[in-house]
Amino acid sequence: MSVFDGLKFRKSFSPIHNLDPRIKFVYVIAVFISALLFSQILPLIILFLIQLPFVFLARVQKQWFRSLRGAAFLAGFIFAINIFTNFFFNNWSLTAFDVENALGMTMRFVVLIVSFSVFFLTTSPDHLGLALEQSHMPYEFAFAFTTAVRFVPVLAEEAQTIMDAQKARGLELEKGNILKRIRNYIPILIPLIVSAIRRSLELAEAMESRAWGAVKKRTNLYLLKLHKGDYVLIGITTFLLITTIYVRLFLFTYIPLVSNFF
Amino acid sequence: MITVENVHYSYGNNIEALKGISLTINDGDFIAIMGQNGAGKTTFIKHFNGLLKPSSGIVYVNNVATTKTSVAALARNVGFVFQNPDNQLFSETVEDEVAFALKNFGFDNDTIAQRVTWALDFLSLTQYRKISPFLLSGGERKRVALASVLAWDPDTLVLDEPTIGQDHEQKENLRQFVMQLQTKKKTVIMVTHDVEFVAECNPRVILMRDGKIIADGIAKDILTNSQLLEESSIVRPQIAQIFAKLSPLGLPANTIDIDEAKTMILTKAKESNRQ
């Protein structure tokens, strides 16, 4: 469940927490696009390093590191798949270039995880909902989205209880071959899904009985306004996008490959 | 036999949920663990089948330390029924649900069929045998969860809040069921807030507060001890409330059993008639 820990918001104050969620989201998307533009390892490492100042400014290193550790398994999986397919399609041979390519793919995944993790660690679900609403998204969608985000830690806790309940009935998750291990998760997933559905139905009834959606035109107590920090982030985002697109279009072939040095 | 020696337990957030608990539970004991929300009751009982391992101290189940063995191995002797049945139901039929644990423990097919039939019959669920457990009512789902644990016949049964969501008739069934287990020399440990249910069952009561055991004794002494009850925000059972007010007449205030109460009142009435 450590991946979820890396996405769980904790209330605190820092320059990053105070940024406008809309701008932060645009920034994350910019990093996302940049990461997709490159497959070489060097630019991806640079993109990774760019995230670090945000992490330290927001003082969320601990949780952020935990999300990284949680993603390690998936990252390893991506690396293994890449290595294997290269190995398979190159007539059972492997070059240093293939290894670098696989590392690049893994790094791309890590960059995506860390940037989203910083976003979710520093943006409260309330702010997120506010941002969606004030970007003229219908309130129903904004509400559904924030509720989904808010329920992630609740479901994670519930999954833990379900695991305990099934272990108490002799279920051993770590037993058997890979197929058996996947099947072992059926007794965890079904109660989790059933209770999520039941919970959402109950929530819907409780909301309707409290006149949810009775007023068509909603007003907000808090209004999002751009501050100095937000303009700085807009600047950084624009610079990042222009630079990466420029490098991609005109300097792509000049990006050095680490494997060439061997 | 379960022996708990000076057990401390902290969750990841450094909050200490158990602060030094020592206890011996003998075979055939019937125990009710009571106390406020957050007293550490559920944390404590999860140590009996190894779901939680103590941060310091030792829990021995049949002379084996829980840290030295697996949950699956411990579960064979210690059955644990969770508070919310929806945390465990997943099978297509009630029958499969009850057979799940038996398959995990590697019983052969004949034994499984026999045990399932017995457990369903014991909890009057036979008519639902081929039905999906999700179609049953809350109380019935709770009984399926209980049957699914009872089926493998563990020596010790741990019940977390067994009376929640049960009507009076089901509670009475549950009480008789526990009494039946008692005659088979099974150990039953239940966590509950239901004072009346405890008064009817008359078990050994362990009172917890703030991660510690503050009292351990027979129900009739603990459920009538004003100071302990106030500390744990428990209201005394109704019979005890009446007898507390009748104490000027010379009736003992520590009365919780309804039959005992009736006999005493009748005797008193006869005495005063004679005068």
Q: Same domain, yes or no, for A219 and A239?
A: no
Least confident of A212-216, A233-237, B135-139: A212-216
Average pLDDT score, chain A: 85
- The pair of three-digit structure tokens given for residue B45, joined into one six-digit string: 């009982």
Residues 6+ apart with CB under 8 A from B95: B116, B120, B129, B130
Question: What's the pLDDT at A41?
Answer: 86
pLDDT at residue A109 greater than cutoff 50: yes
The verdict on A174 touching B (C-beta cutoff 8 Å) is no
Instruction: Give the pLDDT band (50/70/90) at residue A122.
Output: confident
Q: Same domain, yes or no, for A35 and A117?
A: yes
Task: State whether residue B129 is helix, strand or coil.
Answer: coil
A/B interface, count of CB pairs below 8 Å: 63
Question: Which residues on chain B are in Cβ contact (under 8 Å) with A166?
Answer: 88
pLDDT at residue A22 greater than cutoff 80: yes
Contact B87 A158 (CB under 8 A): yes
> With contact defined as beta carbons under 8 Å apart, do B122 and B150 qualify?
yes
pLDDT at residue A3 greater than cutoff 70: no
Range of the domain at A199: 133-224
Q: Same domain, yes or no, for A199 and A69?
A: no
Q: Same domain, yes or no, for A100 and A191?
A: no
Q: Which of the pair, A125 or A8, is modelled with greater confidence?
A: A125
Q: Measure A132 CA to nearest chain B CA, in Å.
A: 33
Contact B104 A194 (CB under 8 A): no
Question: What's the pLDDT at A6?
Answer: 58
The verdict on B134 touching A (C-beta cutoff 8 Å) is yes
- The pair of three-digit structure tokens given for residue A109, joined into one six-digit string: 């995944």
Question: Residues B139-169: pLDDT tens digits?
Answer: 889 999 999 999 999 999 999 999 887 888 8
Question: What's the pLDDT at B6?
Answer: 94
The verdict on A171 touching B (C-beta cutoff 8 Å) is yes
Return the residue of A nearest to B147 by Cα: A169
Instruction: Give the pLDDT band (50/70/90) at residue A187.
Output: very high
Q: Same domain, yes or no, for A7 and A78?
A: yes
Radius of gyration of chain A (CA): 22
- The pair of three-digit structure tokens given for residue B133, joined into one six-digit string: 């457990």
How far is the first Cα of chain B from the last one, in angstroms, to the nearest whole number? 53
Question: Which residues on chain B are in Cβ contact (under 8 Å) with A180?
Answer: none
Q: Same domain, yes or no, for A230 and A212?
A: no
* Number of neighbours of residue A253 by Cβ within 10 angstroms: 5
CA distance B49 to B59: 10
Does residue A34 sit within a domain?
yes
- The ipTM (two decimal places) reads 0.86
Site of tokens 């055991």: B213
Question: What's the pLDDT at A1?
Answer: 45
Question: Residues A54-64: pLDDT tens digits?
Answer: 888 888 888 88
> With contact defined as beta carbons under 8 Å apart, do A64 and A118 qualify?
yes
The verdict on B82 touching A (C-beta cutoff 8 Å) is yes
Contact B87 A172 (CB under 8 A): no
Does residue A160 sit within a domain?
yes
Tell me the HSE value of B91 on the side-chain side, using a 13 A CA sphere. Answer: 18
Q: How many domains does chain A have?
A: 2
The answer to whether the Cα torsion of B151, B203, A166, B171 is positive or negative is positive
Does residue A56 sit within a domain?
yes
Question: What's the pLDDT at A128?
Answer: 82
- The pair of three-digit structure tokens given for residue B138, joined into one six-digit string: 């809350």
Question: Which residues on chain B are in Cβ contact (under 8 Å) with A198?
Answer: 86
> With contact defined as beta carbons under 8 Å apart, do B38 and B54 qualify?
no
| ∠ CA A191-A197-A198, rounded to 5° | 85
Least confident of A158-167, A253-262, B84-93: A253-262
Q: Same domain, yes or no, for A112 and A8?
A: yes
Amino acid at B229: L
pLDDT at residue A231 greater than cutoff 60: yes
Q: Measure B102 CA to nearest chain A CA, in Å.
A: 8
Task: Tell me which residue in A168, A172, A195 faces B49 most closely, judged by beta carbons.
Answer: A168
Does residue A258 sit within a domain?
yes
Closest by Cα among B30, B18, B7 to B209: B18
Residues of chain B below pLDDT 50: none
Q: Same domain, yes or no, for A82 and A191?
A: no
Q: Same domain, yes or no, for A50 and A157?
A: no
The verdict on B72 touching A (C-beta cutoff 8 Å) is yes
CB neighbour class for A39 (10 Å; exposed up to 12, middle 13-18, buried from 19): middle
How far is the first Cα of chain A from the last one, in angstroms, to the nearest whole number? 39
- The long-range contacts involving B267-273, CB below 8 angstroms and separated by at least 24 positions, are none
Contact A171 B70 (CB under 8 A): no
Closest by Cα among A106, A156, A131 to A226: A131
Q: Same domain, yes or no, for A182 and A77?
A: no
The verdict on A45 touching B (C-beta cutoff 8 Å) is no
The verdict on B156 touching A (C-beta cutoff 8 Å) is no
Q: Same domain, yes or no, for A104 and A180?
A: no
Task: Tell me which residue in B72, B87, B105 faces A165 most closely, judged by beta carbons.
Answer: B87
CA distance B21 to A15: 45
Does residue A128 sit within a domain?
no
Does residue A174 sit within a domain?
yes
Residues 6+ apart with CB under 8 A from A184: A171, A172, A173, A175, A176
CA distance B72 to B55: 20
Q: Same domain, yes or no, for A118 and A13?
A: yes
Instruction: Give the pLDDT band (50/70/90) at residue A261.
Output: low
Average pLDDT score, chain B: 91
Contact B149 A169 (CB under 8 A): yes
Residues 6+ apart with CB under 8 A from B22: B4, B5, B6, B7, B57, B213
